[in-house]
């Protein structure tokens, strides 16, 4: 069964560094999403992406964040200058329309 994959599974970075989180959505899905979950807390919507552009973004998704679909298969989330409070699990999801399929997540630790 096709599934969403994410790399790396765990990323440790220093404050102020740039990180790129990678996702491979299920092929033929049209909608892509990034969420984050701070440990023990609820899942927060970051951004949705459709037809090669951002469809919606949350207040969290400020100028330090960007998303790309560089090669038609990968879907990346870049955080330009990481802060301590960016430490969280980041989940990618893809959707053919209604139902979202989540990847296993990347745990980002900012020190």
Partner 1 sequence: ELKVEQNPLFLSMQEGKNYTIYCNYSTTSDRLYWYRQDPGKSLESLFVLLSNGAVKQEGRLMASLDTKARLSTLHITAAVHDLSATYFCAVYTSGTYKYIFGTGTRLKVLA
Q: Write out the residues near partner 1 by the rule CB under 8 A.
A: 31, 33, 35, 42-45, 48, 50, 55-56, 58, 91, 93, 98-105
**Nearer residue to partner 1 within complex by CB, 81 or 109:** 109
Q: What is the DSSP string of 35-55?
A: EEE-TTS-EEEEEEEETTEEE
Query: How much is the CA Rg of the chain, to the nearest whole Å?
Result: 13
Q: Which CB, 55 or 111, lies closer to partner 1? A: 55
In the bound state with partner 1, the residue whose beta carbon lies nearer, of 15 and 38, is: 38
Picking from 33, 30, 75, 25, the residue whose alpha carbon sits closest to that of residue 56 is: 33
Nearest approach in angstroms of CB 102 to partner 1 is 4
Least gap, CB of 14 to partner 1 (angstroms)? 24
DSSP assignment letter at 110: E
């Amino acid at each position: 069964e096709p599934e969403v994959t994410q790399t790396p599974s765990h990323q440790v970075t220093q404050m102020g560094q740039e990180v790129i989180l990678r996702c491979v959505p299920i092929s033929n899905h049209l909608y892509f999403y990034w969420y984050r979950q701070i440990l023990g807390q609820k899942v927060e919507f970051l951004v949705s992406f459709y037809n090669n552009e951002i469809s919606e973004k949350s207040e969290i998704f400020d100028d330090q964040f960007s998303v790309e679909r560089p090669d038609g298969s990968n879907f990346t989330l870049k955080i330009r200058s990481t802060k301590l409070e960016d430490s969280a699990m980041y989940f990618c999801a893809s959707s053919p329309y209604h139902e979202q399929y989540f990847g296993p997540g990347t745990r980002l630790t900012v020190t």
